[in-house]
Structure 1
Amino acid sequence: MSTSDKPEVVDRDVKDKERKEDDKDEEKGGFIDKVKDFIRDIGEKIDETVGFGKPDADVTGVHIPSINLHKADIVVEVLIKNPNPVPIPLIDINYLIDSKGRKLVSGLIPDAGTIHAHGEETVKIPVTLVYDDIKKTYDDIQPGNIIPYRVKVDLIVDVPVLGRLTIPLEKTGEIPVPFKPDIDLEKIHFETFSFEETVAVLHLKLENMNDFDLGLNVLDYEVWLGDVSIGGAELAKSAKLEKKGTSYIDVPITFRPKDFGSALWDMIRGKGTGYTLKGNINVDTPFGAMKLPISKEGGTTRLKKEGDDDDEE
């Protein structure tokens, strides 16, 4: 073999070696690309499956479970929906109730619970409005008024990846500042009379000074003539007390005249007598049921005699 053949062999070996190395680089590069594609696909699928989003929330209702002359108990209901695959903590709830930009009440509820994964929860926020505090602060808010309100709620949640978020909510409405009805016992009409037992009808005048109607359901009362109680009763009575209006109601009572002393005789002689009337009325209103006190002290009434004109006062 001539010496001129050797370079040819060497060149072939080098080329084969280089070709093998190129093939290895291609195989290595292809493997890495496949790994990258695989990781990217897995990431996209994880992102699709485990994607985190902001919870949805809405004030679904404002209820007044209890209201009287002194305060109103209010419950604000907030529905929160968690679209995430893990529970999220409801860190704080800030709330404010104002009227025409003036604060009526505010507060903070810390550590308000947890919203389940892919779930929803109704959170109830109890609030109490004390009317004396409101009337002392705002002179133009008077008993009998209806005032507009706005509920503002900030929900603070902690969502993985997204971090701490604040969800602001609002709801508007109206709430009353109740005023107790004024009551008068105008006259007493005897149905049957005896010293042992007398049945009479009390003619009552009720004035509703509120800016809203009262639907009377139940009246319970006790009556004194002079210093003597002639009794009372609870009466289921249906009547509509018009807003800013006067209504008349007749209620029965049974008593023993011989127990009264001079009060009854003053009435029989037409002098009239002092009386006291106390009780409560259960009413329906546009804002819910209420139990309102009624009272009259130091009034004067008279006996309704047979043949008197019913319209006579």
Structure 2
Amino acid sequence: MASYDNPEVVEREVKDREDKEDKKDEEKSGFIDKVKDFIHDIGEKIEETIGFGKPTADVTAIHLPHINLEKVDIVVDVLVKNPNPIPIPLIDINYLIESEGRKLFSGLIPDAGTIHAHGSETVKIPLCLVYDDIKNTYDDIKPGSIIPYRIKVDLIVDVPVFGRLTLPLEKTGEIPIPYKPDIDLEKIHFEKFSFEETIATLHLKLENKNDFDLGLNDIDYEVWLSGVSIGCADLEKSAKLEKNGITYIDIPITFRPKDCGSALWDMIRGRGTGYSMKGNIHVDTPFGAMKLPISKEGGLLRLVLLGLGAVRLSTMLLFSSFSS
């Protein structure tokens, strides 16, 4: 009787054949594992003997060297350590900046340099974030706000024995979207009257519309009354502009009343006079120093003087008009 006439014999033959195939697969798998272990052991021995190793990298700092209303410059410091006896090239640097999962911008820096043998170097990655690009893409990002960010950096290096490696890095933080303060000239207080020189104090109102404080260090601007410049003023002491708040500061100014034409006459008569201001304020912020523009066009200023002050100023201006 043939084996195919006996189902039990056929089943046994099939099982024996499957067992042999499984045994071959196990032997093959075991051989591959041994080869892998051998290669790994050889790699470790080469690394131990020759001194080759994988480089490491870490983001040590993030700087914001320049911030204004248009953009923010970002510099990422990456410390790369090379344990190998030969220099290794930085092939490419890929970077991405995102905020809450939204891509702000990305880029590539090719041929980023070489890390010396058995050395470490800080690689500086310069980035630039243009605010208009962000605001045009995401409507909910408003001027004056602070947004979280995540910087992702991939350093691609070429190392003997190991080949091409990618060193991924990440760093998080916050960046501001600055907004220029509003400025108003509330009033002028005259300290000393003189035909050639008058000393006065400008009472300024500054509104900080940012979600962060501004430490006012300096202010440079020019003031015009009825289109006539009365000069510049200097800040005598620093001031703190509270976030989303209003701050009043006093700034002394010296000018010649005879150069103001009818501007002071109009103020004394209660008519008021138009004024404008333009310049910059220099402030400290949690994100670094900033220079922010300030401007006011078409303001209206009234002057209220009582008693002797009004008489003296009126006499001075009257004399000025006769002598001109």
For Structure 1 versus Structure 2, the TM-score category normalised by the shorter chain is: 0.7 to 0.9
Change (3 A) 1:163 1:47: closer
Q: Which has the higher strand share?
A: 1
Change (3 A) 1:201 1:304: farther
Cα deviation code 1:99-141 (max 9, x no counterpart): 1111112110101111111111100000011111111011011
Unaligned runs of 5+ in 2: 1-42, 308-324
The SS at the match of 1:303 is coil
Unaligned runs of 5+ in 1: 1-42, 308-313
Change (3 A) 1:49 1:236: farther
Q: Which residue of 2 aligns with 1:156?
A: 156
Q: Which residue of 2 aligns with 1:217?
A: 217
If the length of structure 1 is used for normalisation, what is the TM-score? Answer: 0.82
Please say if residues 91 and 111 of structure 1, whose CA atoms lie closer than 8 Å, have aligned partners that are also in contact: yes
Structure 1 moving runs of 4+ over 6 Å: none
* Fraction of identical pairs, as percent: 81
* Alpha-carbon shift at residue 51 of structure 1 (Å): 3.7
For 2:102 and 2:51, how far apart are their aligned partners in 1? 41
* Alpha-carbon shift at residue 260 of structure 1 (Å): 1.6
* Alpha-carbon shift at residue 53 of structure 1 (Å): 1.9
Q: Which residue of 2 aligns with 1:52?
A: 52
* Alpha-carbon shift at residue 255 of structure 1 (Å): 1.2
For 2:134 and 2:84, how far apart are their aligned partners in 1? 42
Please say if residues 219 and 237 of structure 1, whose CA atoms lie closer than 8 Å, have aligned partners that are also in contact: no
The SS at the match of 1:229 is strand
For 2:44 and 2:56, how far apart are their aligned partners in 1? 24
Quote the RMSD (CA, aligned, Å).
1.7
For 2:44 and 2:185, how far apart are their aligned partners in 1? 81
Please say if residues 98 and 104 of structure 1, whose CA atoms lie closer than 8 Å, have aligned partners that are also in contact: yes
For 2:209 and 2:306, how far apart are their aligned partners in 1? 34
Q: Which residue of 2 aligns with 1:24?
A: none
* Alpha-carbon shift at residue 207 of structure 1 (Å): 0.2
Q: How many residues align?
A: 266
Write the letter of the residue equivalent to 2:200. A
For 2:44 and 2:98, how far apart are their aligned partners in 1? 47
* Alpha-carbon shift at residue 306 of structure 1 (Å): 4.3
Q: Which of the two has higher C-alpha Rg?
A: 1
The SS at the match of 1:237 is coil
* Alpha-carbon shift at residue 196 of structure 1 (Å): 2.1
Cα deviation code 1:113-171 (max 9, x no counterpart): 11111111100000011111111011011110000000000000011011101111000
Q: Which has the higher helix share?
A: 2
Please say if residues 268 and 304 of structure 2, whose CA atoms lie closer than 8 Å, have aligned partners that are also in contact: no
The SS at the match of 1:234 is coil
